[in-house]
């Protein structure tokens, strides 16, 4: 099993402290045991302030249930899942929401007992900042315009396809009625 006691100072410094990705060692109850400077920058808290908080206390309320469900899956005695990733929001020290891509892995001892979690979070600066009109344009208006242009440019093809389809439907219907009459089912 992995030893996450952070006794190797060189590894700890290079991988954890100086990592540009927000990294944290998190207790099983959700309390931050150790965070790096990137986590502090991401959330607006100092390292010492974060180490006194839980992930639950800085997670946006709308995202907390999903996050907690994923943690519960990691703690499942069947150990069906070792890690999870999700997009969620943190609430910064100044009350702003910041979207992050979160990756969490459970750290177990040699007997398989959960010891803690290791988490990494990357900011998603453009996530969740769409205006309603932009969403409408991207999801509704633009595809509708493209469909209109396609039909306009290919109307003869559509008439041919629908005409052919109508012919086969009519032919099949008459054939179906003919078969039903032969079987004396009363069409």
pLDDT for the residue numbered 159: 66
Query: Which DSSP string do the residues of 54-96 spell out, in sequence order?
Result: BHHHHB-HHHHHHHHHHHHHHH-TT---SEEEEEEEEEPTTS-
pLDDT for the residue numbered 72: 87
pLDDT digits 0-9 by tens, 16-69: 777 888 999 999 999 999 999 999 999 999 999 999 899 999 999 999 999 988
80 and 106 belong to one structural domain: yes
The CATH number given to whatever domain includes residue 103 is 3.30.450.20
pLDDT digits 0-9 by tens, 86-141: 889 999 999 998 889 999 999 888 888 889 999 999 988 766 554 445 545 555 56
pLDDT digits 0-9 by tens, 69-79: 888 888 876 66
139 and 112 belong to one structural domain: no
What domain range is 74 assigned to? 9-123
* ∠ CA 109-54-130, rounded to 5°: 115
pTM for the whole structure: 0.62
Q: Is residue 154 part of a domain?
A: yes
21 and 100 belong to one structural domain: yes
CB 106 within 8 A of CB 74: yes
Residue 107, both tokens: 């750290």
Q: Is residue 1 part of a domain?
A: no
CB 30 within 8 A of CB 18: no
């Amino acid at each position: 099993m992995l030893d996450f006691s952070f006794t190797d100072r060189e590894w700890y410094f290079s991988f954890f402290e100086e990592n540009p990705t927000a990294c944290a060692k998190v207790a099983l109850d959700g309390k931050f045991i150790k965070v790096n400077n990137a986590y502090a920058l991401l959330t607006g808290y100092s390292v010492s302030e974060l180490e006194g908080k839980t992930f639950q206390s800085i997670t946006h309320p709308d995202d907390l249930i999903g996050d907690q469900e994923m943690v519960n899956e990691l703690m499942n005695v069947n150990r069906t899942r070792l890690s999870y990733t999700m997009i969620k929001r943190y609430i910064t020290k100044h009350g702003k929401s910041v979207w992050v891509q979160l990756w969490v892995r459970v750290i177990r001892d040699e007997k398989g007992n959960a010891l803690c979690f290791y988490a990494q979070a990357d900011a998603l600066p453009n996530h969740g900042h769409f205006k309603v009109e932009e969403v409408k344009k991207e999801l509704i208006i633009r595809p509708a315009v493209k469909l209109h242009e396609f039909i306009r440019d290919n109307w003869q093809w559509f008439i041919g396809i629908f005409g052919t389809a109508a012919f086969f439907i009519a032919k099949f219907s008459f054939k179906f009625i003919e078969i039903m009459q032969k079987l004396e089912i009363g069409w």
